[in-house]
Amino acid sequence: MPDEVTELPNLPDVTAMEFIVNGERFAMDQGTLQSYLRTLDLHTGESARTVQWKSPAGAALELTFRRFVSLDNEHIAAFSVEVTPTNQRYLDPQQQYRLSALCGGRNADAARWHPAPYNPYE
């Protein structure tokens, strides 16, 4: 294809995760975002994001996503997700929760992923 850029290798995105509660997919652009906190521990290198979210159907959850990549061994990475229901209705064991680790891969680097060259005279 003429728009392809070949200088970057294609690698899968191993950080993608999908969380579903009672058939509703967690998405920050849906439902109500009640709080959001993102932190980076410069001593350990751990990145954390804590979100309090209410789904369109009323499930109130606190989700904490943590990521770590080793500086000593760049082949070591760790990811974790903690999910805590914050309203009584969703503490019922009959509720259905599903967490899926995704490995998305693209076969090509479309040109739209690369910024246009900067020209200060345009």
DSSP letter for each residue of 60-113: EEEEEEEEEE-SS-TT-EEEEEEEEE-SGGGGSTTS-EEEEE--B--S---GGG
Six token digits for residue 61: 């959850």
Q: Residue 9: helix, strand or coil by DSSP?
A: coil
Task: Write out the chain's pLDDT in tens, 122 residues.
Answer: 555 555 666 666 667 778 888 888 888 888 899 999 999 998 888 999 999 999 888 888 899 999 998 888 888 888 888 988 888 766 666 777 788 877 655 555 554 455 556 556 66
- Tell me how long the chain is: 122
pTM of the model: 0.68
